Amino acid sequence: MTMKKRFKKSRLTKTTQAMIIQAVVESTMTFNCETRAWHKKEIREMQKIADQGYRYIWMNKKKGPALKQMEERQVNMWGVRRSLGARSLQAKIEERVLRRIGHVLRMENTRPTKRVTLGWYVPPVTPTPERKPRHGTLEYWRKILNEAGLDADSVEHLVWDRSNWREIIRKRTRHIEEWEGEQAKCHGNQRSQMSR
């Protein structure tokens, strides 16, 4: 049975239905997301899948297609997710990755997990001109930390203060959500100007 059939005559509130999407669809797509490197394209594709469900929940089933209703109400996907209390996958993935970074860096240096993750077991391989270096978890972590305005080489001293590290993660996820909201508003304004 498809999701639409399950939600078609549901008496659950819209926010509860959105929580089901997060618990079933998003949790499956982001299972163990903190242990691998992600490409922006992958996250965008997954977000599209989740957004289909959010649009269906948000729309008025008696007033036609969801995209048409969004256009009439001048609401974009960020606004739809916001009204349902859902955050973007980008914010959720980065939050979990930053938590994982803190967890691994707090480990003792003798722990195999830390040694393998940080590449202490394997010597660095010099890439040949005909072969590009493969971007792994460590390179992805560096990218996430740099985008958060943190120095990857000196971040280890920050993670030992757990409350401070949690606050850094909260600020970063808030920043992502605010940035996405600004981008969505700018995109919506451009579309409305073009339609005039």
Q: Say yes or no to pLDDT of 130 above 70.
A: no
Measured distance CA(20)–CA(26) in Å, rounded = 9
Give the pLDDT confidence score for residue 43 in this predicted structure. Answer: 93
The pLDDT tens digits of the residues spanning 106-119 come to 999 889 888 888 87
Higher-pLDDT residue of 62 and 98 is: 98
At 60, list the tokens. 């008025």
Question: What is the percent of the chain with per-residue pLDDT over 70, rounded to a whole number?
Answer: 84
In degrees, to the nearest 5, what angle opens at C-alpha 134 toward C-alphas 128 and 140?
Answer: 140
Confidence of residue 196 (pLDDT cuts 50, 70, 90): very low
The pLDDT tens digits of the residues spanning 152-174 come to 888 989 999 999 999 999 999 99
How many CA atoms does the CB half-sphere of 10 hold within 13 Å?
19
At 157, list the tokens. 């001293």
Give the pLDDT confidence score for residue 136 in this predicted structure. Answer: 80
Measured distance CA(72)–CA(94) in Å, rounded = 33
Q: Say yes or no to pLDDT of 51 above 50.
A: yes
- DSSP state at residue 134: P
Dihedral sign of CA atoms 111, 116, 122, 125 in order? negative
Give the pLDDT confidence score for residue 124 in this predicted structure. Answer: 54
